[in-house]
Structure 1
């Protein structure tokens, strides 16, 4: 079995970077030539003597990326233990370093900006890895893979977060390189898969039974991005903000936690622990439950215009049908039946998204049968769509709509349990994954002997797949944890762990609240809403005030700060490739192309407000009327400036620069056309744009000469 090296030294010289593992002196050395970036493997003992400027110890190679003018190697320089899974240590990436291939850097504004985006992405992203266990896959999928194959080949492509920046190494592995044309398995130990998301491992007790509670959320690398710049599906069927969350209970994890075993008898098939492999009842037991979340699977977008509630655009369902087919084909292939829980509002602006989702499901399933259930709160408490027959692939889709906001109105969050009750039959059939770890296996980490599998998945969404989604997912996880504990004999049938052990319940709630915050921060830029319900089990006024703070912060971040964040995702994940961009316009990638007059309006508003404040707090003496005129004048200027900004909000949203969104381009052009027709602003804007066109041409020519 080939596992990644746990220790790597980097020798830096003027003509190459050389990576070796001190603990594996017989392994091939990885050489990356400077400045070409050519990869080759060399016998470490045959390396010629050369002048080495420095030797650095790293935890692993995250990957290699080409920007506009140079290639860079990204290394993990510091990692801290996050805990053990089945006795195998998992690490969190703490710090990284970027090694340029050019010995002498070329100073270029765009290159510096791209590097800044890359560093921001590396700094803010919660990334995890293991040298010995595949954390990109759920335990159920791990049990289906050959543990003797290299770790990176077993990785789930969706959650292999650094897959794009590992492309050069993977291509070299499969096809070889200059002077080494054949496949090169010797590079396998240098390829380290990393996940982005949440990984919490908590050794604890439920009453007197020791166990390890684990929560893993893996964010998909496909269609990654921020809240308002990444919605719905792409043409390949990848959904925005797609995450797989796995809740794991490990019993008798002797090798990792040092905790004592669980006394039991029989086997897991009968619902009792113990088993033939360990008469003392101390074999390691794995119980896992998987859920998914993802944006509503149609073509839709929310267009920022500086209004608190963005405008929704939805393309025809027929146009998105091929993408939806690709999406659900993958989901059914991986998870089996999909229970599609939709939590968006049935009234107001969200109603269009709900209707589009339902039309999509009706287009996919055979002879759809709809059923609506009402109560005293709403006419549409539940809305289900089930296939009339179960013969075609997409007849494994089961749509369940729940009017979350109406049912839980007035802090009545306990009514969300109604959805779990509605899904009771599906959850009973769905089951969960159960296995026994076989430590006698020759493979590191052992082998899983499967006793039961999860046969379907609940795919939950709201508008953002954040706040409402996390509440429902935590309720489903709590329901399934009750069932696990009953099956293994540590909880009486009909009881709930939340009533039996308040300390354990507190841990469970906080793990799910932490999960909500991390997933939300990576997408919206803030922590999640409604975490008071997840942490305390009840909706509180303090929690409502905190949600107000989150809402205001999201508004500011999503309108004024998310453009660079989206650019950072696009750069790291390969949605934008600087090397293939138009080099003639490279110097204009991050240029502010708005007319200077448009750019100046926010500054005019800020200075006007400052002058108003200075006037209000200044001593007037005998000059009362001049001061009043001064204040009124600047108040008028400030009011007009703010009116102009919010009337033409498309011009002041911080849009992504690397991959401009089509709806943003259309909206910008419409707004700037409206400004050109303004009798006061129009002539000034047009005059500036004529000058800007000349400047753009001169800058493009200068950039082209510099690159040549």
Structure 2
């Protein structure tokens, strides 16, 4: 079996970077020529003859990326052990470095900005994980059907192979070879390291005195990844925004779950765990998914607290929705679509769009609505009326639950109504269960004896797929974990682990709350709401106040800071490629708003400062009063006018992505500019500035054309 190298030395020479594994001296070395970026495999024994400037030990190669002027190699310089899954060590990336292929002589602001985006995206707080010997991109159930002799990167699930784009140069060389090496090059396999982005916690613990390991893995999809208001709904290929697969794993009788033990060499094959004598090691896992409402929709920032929702026709979104659910059914089987958005107000249109999509996909949709004293639509289900599915999409089961109405007034325990409603489906769903027999009977390829398979999945969403979604997912995980313990004989039927082991319950709650925070931070920029419920089991006033703080922070970040964050996603994941971008100095990140438009917030700030000066500066006893009053009134009027202008033309002051402008944002910008041109004060000045800007754009374009020629 070919696994990634655990130890890599990188030698920096004037004409190349050379990567080799000290523990595998017979393996070929990876050489990347400078400045061309050509890749080749060379004899590692000849490296000592080459003159190098320095040698550095690294944990792995994240990939290569072409920016505007140069290509760069991103390396993992430090990785922190997280824990073991079935004897395999898992690591978190805590430090990276970016190696340029050429010594840059020309200062280019855009190149510097691209590098700053990359460095900020792969900073130490970014939740990226990898393993040298276990496939973190796939659930244990999918791993059970794979050929373990295949290289690790080839087994990776393309959706969660986070560094797939920046690994494309290495993968292309592996598949097609390069200059002087035209055939396939399997020797590069150990240098390709799949990484996931998301949340991963491993807890070796006990339940009622029984040693076990519980782990939670959330894998974020690299498709349609981005920030909260700039990435919603589906793309044309059917990829959903903020799509995450979460797997809760329980391992019994695995004594290598901690940090101890030998890691072994990279290619030593399957690492044997020390299973308790006479007891089989058991692995149980339960998978859930979350993803944005599968339609074409967006929320348009205008600096108002509640952005305007824009939804395209369901007919237009039908092909994308069909592609999305075709993939979901193919991978997971039946899909139970739990929708938690509000049935009234601004979210109503999103709810109705989702229901129309399901009605179009299911062959003979049958709807059922139930009500109670709190709401007219407590549950709303849509599924086929056939006893047996006639269509591929009859495996969709839509379940709407009015989460906010049912849990209003801190009555979060009423969310249990959803679990009760789905009980029959959850029982039929099962979970993945496999075993490894004691006495050294583990197959050489590392496969387990499968006892049961999970036959369906619950796909949960709210508007953001964050707060409400995580509460419901943790409840489903809790229900399934109770079932696992009952099946293992650790719980009696009808009892709950929360009542039997408070310490385990505390750990479980905090693990799911951590998951909520990590998923929320990567999408909205803040931790999750309602984590007091997840951590303590009840809704508190302190938690409600914390949610208010999170809401305000989200507002500020989503309106004023998320543009560069979205650009970083697009750059790292290949949604934008600088080599195909504009040519010309400062064209990519230039602020194209008229200078007067840019100045209005500063005018408001200065006006407010002058008002404070007028109010609190000391005065002489005999000083005239009216001049100061007129001063204060004038600057109050200037400040007020500036603030009203900003709020009325909010689209001009949102920090939009620069690399992949959103079509609805561009349309809204032009509409707002057209309205500003009619402003009695700024209108004539703005129009005059835009004429000058058009000339400047034409000159820059001509300079770029000459540069190319």
Q: How does 1:95-174 map to 2 (within 5 A)?
A: 95-123=95-123, 124-174=125-175
Give the equivalent residue in structure 2 for 1:292: 289
Give the equivalent residue in structure 1 for 2:264: none
Q: How does 1:29-428 map to 2 (within 5 A)?
A: 29-47=29-47, 49-123=49-123, 124-257=125-258, 280-389=277-386, 390-428=389-427
Q: State the Cα RMSD in Å.
A: 1.5
Question: Given that residues 254 and 284 in structure 1 are in contact (C-alpha distance below 8 angstroms), is that contact kept between their aligned partners in structure 2?
Answer: no
Question: Given that residues 587 and 703 in structure 1 are in contact (C-alpha distance below 8 angstroms), is that contact kept between their aligned partners in structure 2?
Answer: no
Structure 1 stretches of at least 4 aligned residues deviating more than 6 Å after TM superposition:
none
Give the 3-state SS of the residue equivalent to 1:40 in structure 2.
strand
Q: Structure 2: how far apart are the matches of 1:620 and 1:632? A: 17
Give the 3-state SS of the residue equivalent to 1:188 in structure 2.
helix
Measure how far apart 1:620 and its partner are.
2.6
Q: Structure 2: how far apart are the matches of 1:422 and 1:365? A: 21
Cα gap change, 1:489 to 1:647, in 2 (>3 Å): same
1:607-638 residue CA offsets vs partner (Å, 9 max, x unmatched) = 11111111111123323221111111111100
Q: Structure 1: how far apart are the matches of 2:506 and 2:105? A: 52
Q: Structure 1: how far apart are the matches of 2:297 and 2:71? A: 36
Q: Structure 1: how far apart are the matches of 2:694 and 2:413? A: 60
Give the 3-state SS of the residue equivalent to 1:427 in structure 2.
helix
- Under a length normalisation based on structure 2, what TM-score does the superposition of the two structures give? 0.95
Give the equivalent residue in structure 2 for 1:589: 588
Give the equivalent residue in structure 1 for 2:650: 649
Cα gap change, 1:115 to 1:443, in 2 (>3 Å): farther
Higher mean displacement: 598-607 or 278-287: 278-287
Q: Structure 2: how far apart are the matches of 1:339 and 1:222? A: 22
Give the 3-state SS of the residue equivalent to 1:95 in structure 2.
strand
Question: Given that residues 148 and 443 in structure 1 are in contact (C-alpha distance below 8 angstroms), is that contact kept between their aligned partners in structure 2?
Answer: no
1:95-129 residue CA offsets vs partner (Å, 9 max, x unmatched) = 10000001334320000000100111111421000
Question: Given that residues 215 and 248 in structure 1 are in contact (C-alpha distance below 8 angstroms), is that contact kept between their aligned partners in structure 2?
Answer: yes
Q: Structure 1: how far apart are the matches of 2:82 and 2:242? A: 24
Question: Given that residues 289 and 458 in structure 2 are in contact (C-alpha distance below 8 angstroms), is that contact kept between their aligned partners in structure 1?
Answer: yes
Q: Structure 1: how far apart are the matches of 2:48 and 2:491? A: 65
1:633-686 residue CA offsets vs partner (Å, 9 max, x unmatched) = 111100000000000000000000000000000000000000112222111001
Q: Which runs of 5+ in 2 are unaligned?
A: 261-273
Q: Structure 1: how far apart are the matches of 2:246 and 2:663? A: 32
Cα gap change, 1:229 to 1:631, in 2 (>3 Å): same
Question: Given that residues 134 and 142 in structure 1 are in contact (C-alpha distance below 8 angstroms), is that contact kept between their aligned partners in structure 2?
Answer: yes
Measure how far apart 1:49 and its partner are.
2.6
Cα gap change, 1:278 to 1:216, in 2 (>3 Å): closer
Q: Structure 2: how far apart are the matches of 1:105 and 1:249? A: 54
Measure how far apart 1:233 and its partner are.
0.3
Measure how far apart 1:706 and its partner are.
5.9
1:198-234 residue CA offsets vs partner (Å, 9 max, x unmatched) = 0000011111111111000000000000000000000
Q: Structure 1: how far apart are the matches of 2:259 and 2:659? A: 50
Give the equivalent residue in structure 2 for 1:269: none
Q: Structure 2: how far apart are the matches of 1:619 and 1:279? A: 80
Q: Structure 1: how far apart are the matches of 2:216 and 2:105? A: 43
Q: Structure 2: how far apart are the matches of 1:184 and 1:168? A: 13
- Under a length normalisation based on structure 1, what TM-score does the superposition of the two structures give? 0.95
Cα gap change, 1:441 to 1:100, in 2 (>3 Å): same
Alignment partner of 1:559 is 2:559: yes
Give the equivalent residue in structure 2 for 1:468: 468
Measure how far apart 1:592 and its partner are.
0.2
1:454-507 residue CA offsets vs partner (Å, 9 max, x unmatched) = 000000000000000000000000000000000000001000001111111000
Q: Structure 2: how far apart are the matches of 1:74 and 1:95? A: 11
Cα gap change, 1:487 to 1:355, in 2 (>3 Å): same
Matched positions, count:
689
Q: Structure 2: how far apart are the matches of 1:481 and 1:655? A: 43
Q: How does 1:630-669 map to 2 (within 5 A)?
A: 630-669=631-670
Measure how far apart 1:442 and its partner are.
5.7
Question: Given that residues 253 and 276 in structure 2 are in contact (C-alpha distance below 8 angstroms), is that contact kept between their aligned partners in structure 1?
Answer: no
